[in-house]
Structure 1
Amino acid sequence: MSDWRSIAAKKKSEQDALIPNEWRLVSIPSPSEIDVSRIPETCGLLDAIELEITNSDVDVLLESIAKGRWTSVAVTSAFYKRAIIAHQVTNCLTEIFIERALKRAAELDEHLATTGTVIGPLHGLPISLKDQINIKGLESCMGYVSWVGTFAERNAVLTDILESAGAVPFVKTNVPQTLMWPETFNHVFGRTLNPHNRSLTSGGSSGGEGSLVAMRGSPLGVGSDIGGSVRIPAGFCGIYGLRPSYGRVPYAGCVNSLEGQDSAPSVLGPLTNSIYGIKTFMKAVAGARPWLKDPLAVRKRWSEDEYNLADHGGGNKLCFAIMWDDGIVVPHPPITRGMEIVKKALLNAVIDWKPSKHAEILTCLRNIWQAGAQEDFQVVTSPSGEPVISSMDPEDNTPVTDILDARATKATVSAYQLWQIQKQKRNLREEYLQLWEDTVKTTGTGRAVDAIIAPVAANTAIAHGKNRSASYTSVWNMLDYSSLVIPVSKVDPELDLVKAPHKFYNEDDKANYERYNPVDFMNAPISIQLVGRTLEEEAVIAMGEIVDAALKSHH
């Protein structure tokens, strides 16, 4: 291969050439203009109808298309234009394929006009996909220079399911090289910025989706989550995001890092601007019987009983547990204020959650990932010679240890050693199940706690290169708990003042405390995650609706 820099530059140039001139911003905001979330409203490129379409949530869009108020072509065109605007100020996209998407939308409009019926539950809805989700004939380089020029020979199973449900895949979105980062930067497409404050990260690894959906450049996106990669961008960008349990959403046919590591695998999940969008996505996917198309998909239909909280007293007298901190790093003041807002808004019983062995759980998870991560990254990058990124800090070119420690020199463990780690994981899951069950003694409902309310991270969106921990999300990955992110508020320097130092758990906790200055986090969204048990997606969505409604009523 030729020099990796020239390959990357050529791919980026080809991407830019796909942007229609009439969709280009007349002037790009200066770097000092940190909040670009309103640019689509003010730039003059979108007319009144296009703004109405793109400011509508999934329920309104689906109903309007089905009833003929808007065509799929009109909706797809409006979101495509807004996505391109979002990309010009946040760098959120990878693959752009306008003609193909509009052709698909026109076919759906023709079907509706001819038959009077929709194709499926997502009829006419544009959907964005994280770069790793294959679309036949398009690239999924996943931020690797080595994979530029490799075109998918078939759709991912999820792409087929979404299309069969009537969706219109229309853009793919940016990721960090290797995916194993809570930020978004790679050598091919560069860095994705947070639309609420471009000096802050959009999170990762689904950072492109986070920024795009937050700017309403997509009504519904799909990301992946191995340690928080759906929830961190959702939390940092102020949108809704769901981490389902292993196998609930089919993964077959995607490109990925750490393939073959099946002990704590990545899962696919939706990001959108309403819980309705989350529910609609999960119902559509489960309704397509994905276990007949992906052998690792769980055989579990959408359950209205579970959505109606049959296992949670029918939704009467719910009891939530709030985890104020994880015993490793105490959250910044805005995060704590967000949790307090939720507690005040809820009419339900609330108790405190005492986390157990979170540091041990996280160490176990890292050991599973690290077992072959370094070799995995080297195998993929060696054909192009591109360096494995060791820091996301734009001002730091020296190799540093990242959140995984996986880029540091590390001997591969033996199969037997890996089995011992996996056995430890099983034991920790058993202990946590018992911890949850034991709360029946304190809830007052006759049931164990219905769900845990926890921070998404110890900080809101933070400066580029500084988000090196995913401890508040990764713990639920290893336990395989379903988790939904719900936006709450935004950082307010007048409310979110620096607090007096607490007794620090460790050096990381001290460093996190010292990093907080409210002015640096201006306008950053504050979010929480609602955590249920394994394969409890329906109940988590239903309880999420209760929390979300309480927050909206409280505000």
Structure 2
Amino acid sequence: MNFDLSNMLEKQIPVKYVTYLMGAYLGFKIGSYILRSAIKKVKIFIQKKKVRNFIQERNQNLKNLQIPTPNLTQDIIDKVLNSDITHLKKMLEAKSVTSEDLVNIFSKRAQQYGVEYGIITHLKYKEAIEAAKECDKLRKENSPLCQLPLFGIPISMKETIDEKGYPSTVGSIFRIDHIPKEDGFCAKLLKSGGAIPFLRTNVPQAGMIYESVNEVYGRVLNPWDKTKYSGGSSGGEGAAVAARMSPGGMGSDIGGSIRIPAAMCGVYGLKPTAQRSVMSGHTFYSEPFNGQKTVLCASGPICKSVDDLILFFRQLSDPQYLKKFKLQEIDTFFPLMQIDEAQLNNNQKQRRFGYFKTLKEFDCTLANQRAVEISVEKLRAQGHQLVEITLPNVEQIRDGFIQFLLSDELMCMKDLLSKEDFVKEYMTIEFFASTPVILKRILTVIFYLIGEKTFAQLLPNSNRLKVEELNKLQYNINKLQIEYLRLFDDHEIEAIICPSFGAPALPHSSSIDSAPVSLYTFIWNFLNFPCGVLPVTKVLKEEQHYNNSRTRELATKRLDHYMKQNTEGLPVNVQVVAPPYKEETCLNVMKMLDDDIQFYQHNSYPELK
């Protein structure tokens, strides 16, 4: 058979047939889209019904728990609720309370307020009370185990940490059946130190925004003010400690997820160097998410004092506790470093620290700046030298973090969530991720013309990255790390005192249009420097504004609006940053500040209403 192309081209197909074919194709594509959308909506509808049943069962089980009130005076019960872990250990040693008492007191409070505030996902009362009884038995026998850092202390755990028999949903409606068959390593390590995990706390959907809200357990309310967010992604954990439902517990941090909730709720948090933290035993998200190594997640404690952070740090980092486990259980390449006791307890005078009160790229509020000023003056009064510094290449870090976050156009999170829609708090991130490249170029020009410089700078950095581009980003991170270490060397400083966040707790959903406030935390994730936060002061009446901003863009205007919405009296934390693997220095400086400031000696924990 001869194939004559010219003859075929000479034969003209009637235009109407071409039109029919094109119409049929378009109809097929539109119909397929409508069908897929309908199937997706049906699946979500069915799953949400399962979630409602799941939550109803959870709530009924919680309500049915018979938690006895300990045979203690109300003064002792109040003392337990207000005490940090360090003082609870002293109460246990003095035999004024038992571990069983502690579990009952905190469990009863969690039962009473936990669901109302959206803080808890599950109360593990039955397991916890049995563990408490065993601890009390060992204490009566004078067991050497009583000397373990967290022996007999009830603690809470972020919902993303695997615990046998309890779901790790990461706030996804399609993961309510994701129930580990055994404890993860993180839970095992804490239990080996005598801790009693009794409470699991709420997180954001997919755990990647700093407001804790999802369609499984709802929204976490800030104990200081229900109309404000508690931070995220360890928002339930920060709120649980501030609300005195838990004396302390575990969170994780990839952009501020320990420090932001601690700061929003006026408590204490530590983000270690990522490699010096325990991530083994945190729930599996997806292969792309768990496989990324550009910006590393770190786990760490949220507590009521620096002393308690140190207790957790010992249990999670001391080789004597880690060596009890098999190599395959511990995080790969976890450095078995001896704790530097000399640095942890350093009381020398005339030490040298750096500080900055704000960043020109996005100013923090006056209240946050004042918290730094108070901290600087406290250290100076103790005989130390404080030198004001300027952070280099902040814009490059900001743009690089956005590149990392959107390098796969959110496919990591989409894999995790399956067919579930993002909650509205992801609106800005979704916009950056889903906008086509050509449209981003047009919008960049428009944003520059209307004065939205920050958006104009960020949009070009929100495209999917090729392998070579991701490698270049990782190389630039290494260069920036060296540059920041040079900052420490050139100024001869041991640590940096700086704002914990760009603002105090703001109204729910405000993260949609005020996201630059998180710049003050994710800088240190990008560089992988250890840092911690502690409460210093409260927002004053005259600080309820954002008139101090040097730029007038959408985010700054919205922040000014939010600051005027009854922020007076909210807690304000400060942040301490040290070089990599210098957690002892970070904790030591935090301790010096905390011993002097004594926030909760002058302020009460929030009253729940």
Is the shorter-chain TM-score for this pair beyond 0.5, marking a shared fold?
yes
Q: 1:541 to 1:122 in 2, by over 3 A?
A: same
The 5-angstrom pairing of residues 150-161 of structure 1 reads 150-161=178-189
After superposition, give the CA deviation of every residue in 1:407-462 in whole Å (9 maximum; x if it has no partner).
667764222221111111111112222222111xxxxxxxx112111111111000
The 5-angstrom pairing of residues 83-482 of structure 1 reads 83-119=110-146, 120-255=148-283, 257=285, 258-287=289-318, 288-289=321-322, 292=327, 293-309=330-346, 315-346=348-379, 347=381, 348-372=384-408, 374-382=410-418, 385-389=419-423, 391-392=424-425, 400-402=427-429, 405-406=432-433, 412-439=464-491, 448-467=492-511, 468-469=515-516, 470-482=518-530
* C-alpha distance in 1 between matches for 2:248 and 2:506: 24
The amino acid that maps onto 2:506 is I
* C-alpha distance in 1 between matches for 2:435 and 2:348: 48
- The answer on whether the counterparts of 2:163 and 2:184 sit within 8 Å (CA) in structure 1 is yes
Q: 1:79 to 1:307 in 2, by over 3 A?
A: same
- The answer on whether the counterparts of 1:127 and 1:219 sit within 8 Å (CA) in structure 2 is yes
- 1:503 corresponds in structure 2 to 550
- The answer on whether the counterparts of 1:321 and 1:453 sit within 8 Å (CA) in structure 2 is yes
Quote the offset at 1:51 in angstroms.
2.1
- Equivalent residue of 1:247, what SS? helix
Q: 1:128 to 1:513 in 2, by over 3 A?
A: closer
* C-alpha distance in 1 between matches for 2:208 and 2:95: 43
- The answer on whether the counterparts of 1:489 and 1:527 sit within 8 Å (CA) in structure 2 is yes
Q: 1:528 to 1:54 in 2, by over 3 A?
A: same
* C-alpha distance in 1 between matches for 2:369 and 2:249: 28
* C-alpha distance in 2 between matches for 1:193 and 1:46: 30
- The answer on whether the counterparts of 2:224 and 2:265 sit within 8 Å (CA) in structure 1 is yes
Of Structure 1 and Structure 2, which has the larger fraction of its residues in helix? Answer: 2
Alignment partner of 1:7 is 2:50: yes
- The answer on whether the counterparts of 1:239 and 1:274 sit within 8 Å (CA) in structure 2 is yes
* C-alpha distance in 2 between matches for 1:209 and 1:316: 35
Aligned with 1:483 (options 531, 553, 577):
531
* C-alpha distance in 2 between matches for 1:509 and 1:88: 32
- Equivalent residue of 2:353, what SS? strand
- The answer on whether the counterparts of 2:210 and 2:233 sit within 8 Å (CA) in structure 1 is yes
- The answer on whether the counterparts of 2:187 and 2:281 sit within 8 Å (CA) in structure 1 is no
Quote the offset at 1:207 in angstroms.
0.4
* C-alpha distance in 1 between matches for 2:547 and 2:504: 19
Quote the offset at 1:363 in angstroms.
1.5
Q: 1:316 to 1:545 in 2, by over 3 A?
A: same
Decide which moves more: 228-237 or 150-159.
150-159
* C-alpha distance in 2 between matches for 1:201 and 1:450: 33
* C-alpha distance in 1 between matches for 2:376 and 2:111: 39
The amino acid that maps onto 2:89 is L
* C-alpha distance in 1 between matches for 2:414 and 2:549: 42
Quote the offset at 1:381 in angstroms.
2.0
Higher gyration radius (CA): 2
Decide which moves more: 86-95 or 355-364.
86-95
- Equivalent residue of 1:299, what SS? coil
CA RMSD of aligned residues (A): 2.6
* C-alpha distance in 1 between matches for 2:189 and 2:132: 16
After superposition, give the CA deviation of every residue in 1:465-504 in whole Å (9 maximum; x if it has no partner).
11323110000111111111010111121x4254755532
Q: 1:121 to 1:503 in 2, by over 3 A?
A: closer
- The answer on whether the counterparts of 1:183 and 1:202 sit within 8 Å (CA) in structure 2 is yes
- The answer on whether the counterparts of 1:337 and 1:496 sit within 8 Å (CA) in structure 2 is no
The amino acid that maps onto 1:94 is T
* C-alpha distance in 1 between matches for 2:304 and 2:430: 29
- 5+ residue gaps, structure 1: 25-39, 393-398, 440-447
- The answer on whether the counterparts of 1:135 and 1:154 sit within 8 Å (CA) in structure 2 is yes
- Equivalent residue of 2:510, what SS? coil
- The answer on whether the counterparts of 1:8 and 1:189 sit within 8 Å (CA) in structure 2 is no
* C-alpha distance in 2 between matches for 1:524 and 1:65: 33
Q: How does the TM-score come out when normalised to structure 1?
A: 0.87
The amino acid that maps onto 1:434 is R
The amino acid that maps onto 2:344 is Y
* C-alpha distance in 1 between matches for 2:345 and 2:396: 35
The amino acid that maps onto 1:546 is M
- Equivalent residue of 1:20, what SS? helix
- Equivalent residue of 1:16, what SS? helix
Q: How does the TM-score come out when normalised to structure 2?
A: 0.79
Quote the offset at 1:111 in angstroms.
2.1
Quote the offset at 1:352 in angstroms.
1.2
* C-alpha distance in 2 between matches for 1:136 and 1:46: 35
Q: 1:407 to 1:521 in 2, by over 3 A?
A: farther
Q: 1:22 to 1:172 in 2, by over 3 A?
A: closer
- Equivalent residue of 1:315, what SS? coil
The amino acid that maps onto 1:6 is K
Q: 1:46 to 1:129 in 2, by over 3 A?
A: farther
Q: 1:200 to 1:499 in 2, by over 3 A?
A: closer
Quote the offset at 1:303 in angstroms.
1.7
- The answer on whether the counterparts of 1:86 and 1:212 sit within 8 Å (CA) in structure 2 is no
Quote the offset at 1:227 in angstroms.
0.4
Decide which moves more: 63-72 or 150-159.
63-72
- 5+ residue gaps, structure 2: 1-42, 437-461, 603-609
- The answer on whether the counterparts of 1:401 and 1:407 sit within 8 Å (CA) in structure 2 is no
Decide which moves more: 220-229 or 146-155.
146-155
Q: 1:513 to 1:88 in 2, by over 3 A?
A: closer
Aligned residues: 513
- 1:445 corresponds in structure 2 to none
After superposition, give the CA deviation of every residue in 1:141-187 in whole Å (9 maximum; x if it has no partner).
11011211121122121111111110000011000011110110011
Decide which moves more: 154-163 or 295-304.
295-304
Q: 1:426 to 1:56 in 2, by over 3 A?
A: same
* C-alpha distance in 2 between matches for 1:47 and 1:272: 23
- The answer on whether the counterparts of 2:546 and 2:556 sit within 8 Å (CA) in structure 1 is no
- Equivalent residue of 2:290, what SS? coil
Q: 1:475 to 1:23 in 2, by over 3 A?
A: farther
